[in-house]
């Protein structure tokens, strides 16, 4: 049996002044997150601005990670696109390189779609992949996709594609749903995206998290994943992050922690966090986390 999933960093993606992916900085940060306690690296997820990273850009990132000595079985690739053909191609790139898992979100452009339509979309992706299809983590993030993956849909996909569906990442922030998901499909890898719900999920069978906060607080999050104990500092800082656009805020925190302002750059349509807000975030982090380190 495969080992417990653990903590995966939802790696933020650095860009240079020309808007290109800064590969050396990205691979160094991935290695630093692994050294800090993460068990894997999730590329191109929500925190990694994956919806803004094109298909052609992904191959060099995957190859750079492997060239930097990060094993393929410590890589997860996010796929956040609408066309099943594009989703299959992005999955294929990662799976052919041996990636551990694919974090696959449902299409988000069309709203108010039903389970039959969603089933058909996932089926088209898996059919296009053929024998490559494996390790799929279904991504429930209704605040972005406007789709909550129903427990019935997850069950249908498991039954139709045995061995393909590995688990679910739940970033819905709805504890009632998370609890029901664990009860219905707890034999799968169930991961939590909202760090406030991580500890209670671990206590009832959750296997870990794909976390944006792991970019700068991996040690604290790993402790939660391993113990299932509540961590007031983590819960408090989630509230601080949510006062700002989360993706630029995570980058601001990496810049705060590393002293490297290259991390502040985001791709349009996102905009960086303003200087005063960055200072407020950094001060909140220092209040919560530096105390224990002292």
Instruction: Give pLDDT tens digits for 60-119.
Output: 999 999 999 999 999 999 999 999 999 999 999 999 999 999 999 999 999 989 999 999
Render pLDDT for 162-172 as a digit per residue (tens, 0 to 9): 999 999 999 99
**Max CA-CA distance within the chain?**
55
Q: How many CB atoms lie within 10 A of CB 131?
A: 5
CA angle 138, 48, 184 (to 5 degrees): 20
> What is the spatial distance between Cα 47 and Cα 226, in angstroms, rounded to a whole number?
23
Tokens linked to 22: 């800064």
Render pLDDT for 198-208 as a digit per residue (tens, 0 to 9): 999 999 999 99
* Arithmetic mean of pLDDT, 197-222: 97
294: pLDDT strictly greater than 70: no
Catalytic residue among 111, 169, 177, 251: 169
Render pLDDT for 5-32 as a digit per residue (tens, 0 to 9): 999 999 999 999 999 999 999 999 999 9
Catalytic residue among 139, 177, 251, 285: 139
47 is in an annotated binding site: yes
- 109 in catalytic set: no
What percent of the chain stands above pLDDT 70?
98
In the chain the first and final C-alpha atoms are separated, in Å, by 41
- By the 10 Å C-beta count (0-12 exposed, 13-18 middle, 19+ buried), 116 is classed as exposed
Tokens linked to 240: 């601080």
> What is the spatial distance between Cα 225 and Cα 200, in angstroms, rounded to a whole number?
10
> What is the spatial distance between Cα 54 and Cα 266, in angstroms, rounded to a whole number?
15
- 169 in catalytic set: yes
Helix (H), strand (E) at residue 6: strand 6-10
Number of H helices, E strands in the chain: 13, 8
Render pLDDT for 231-287 as a digit per residue (tens, 0 to 9): 999 999 999 999 999 999 999 999 999 999 999 999 999 999 999 999 999 999 999
Q: Where are the domains of the chain?
A: 6-228
What is the pLDDT at residue 89? 98
Rounded to the nearest 10 degrees, the angle between the axes of helix 115-129 and helix 84-96 is 40
> What pairing do the DSSP bridges indicate for beta strands 6-10 and 40-43?
parallel
Pick the CATH number of 6-228 from 3.20.20.70, 3.30.70.890, 3.30.70.141, 3.40.50.300: 3.20.20.70
210 is in an annotated binding site: yes
């Amino acid at each position: 049996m495969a080992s417990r999933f653990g903590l995966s960093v939802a790696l933020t993606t650095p860009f240079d002044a020309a808007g290109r992916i800064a590969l050396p900085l990205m691979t160094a940060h991935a290695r630093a997150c692994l050294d800090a306690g993460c068990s894997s690296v999730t590329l191109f997820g929500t925190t990694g601005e994956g919806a803004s990273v094109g298909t052609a850009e992904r191959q060099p990132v995957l190859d750079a990670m492997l060239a930097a000595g990060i094993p393929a079985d410590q890589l997860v690739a996010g796929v956040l696109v609408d066309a099943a053909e594009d989703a299959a191609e992005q999955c294929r790139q990662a799976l052919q390189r041996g990636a551990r898992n694919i974090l696959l979100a449902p299409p988000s452009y069309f709203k108010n779609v039903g389970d039959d339509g969603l089933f058909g979309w996932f089926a088209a992706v898996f059919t296009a992949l053929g024998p490559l299809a494996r390790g799929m983590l279904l991504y429930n993030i209704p605040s972005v996709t406007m789709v909550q993956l129903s427990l019935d849909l997850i069950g249908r996909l498991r039954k139709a594609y045995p061995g393909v569906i590995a688990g679910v990442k739940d970033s819905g922030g709805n504890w009632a749903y998370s609890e029901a998901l664990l009860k219905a499909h707890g034999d799968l890898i169930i991961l939590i995206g909202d760090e406030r719900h991580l500890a209670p999920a671990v206590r009832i069978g959750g296997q870990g998290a794909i976390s944006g906060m792991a970019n700068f607080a991996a040690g604290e999050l790993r402790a939660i994943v391993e113990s299932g104990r509540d961590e007031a500092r983590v819960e408090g800082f989630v509230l601080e992050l949510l006062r700002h656009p989360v993706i630029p805020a995570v980058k601001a925190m990496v810049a705060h922690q590393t002293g490297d302002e290259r991390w502040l750059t985001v791709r349009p349509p996102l905009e960086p966090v303003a200087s005063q807000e960055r200072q407020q975030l950094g001060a909140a982090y220092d209040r919560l986390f530096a105390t224990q380190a002292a």
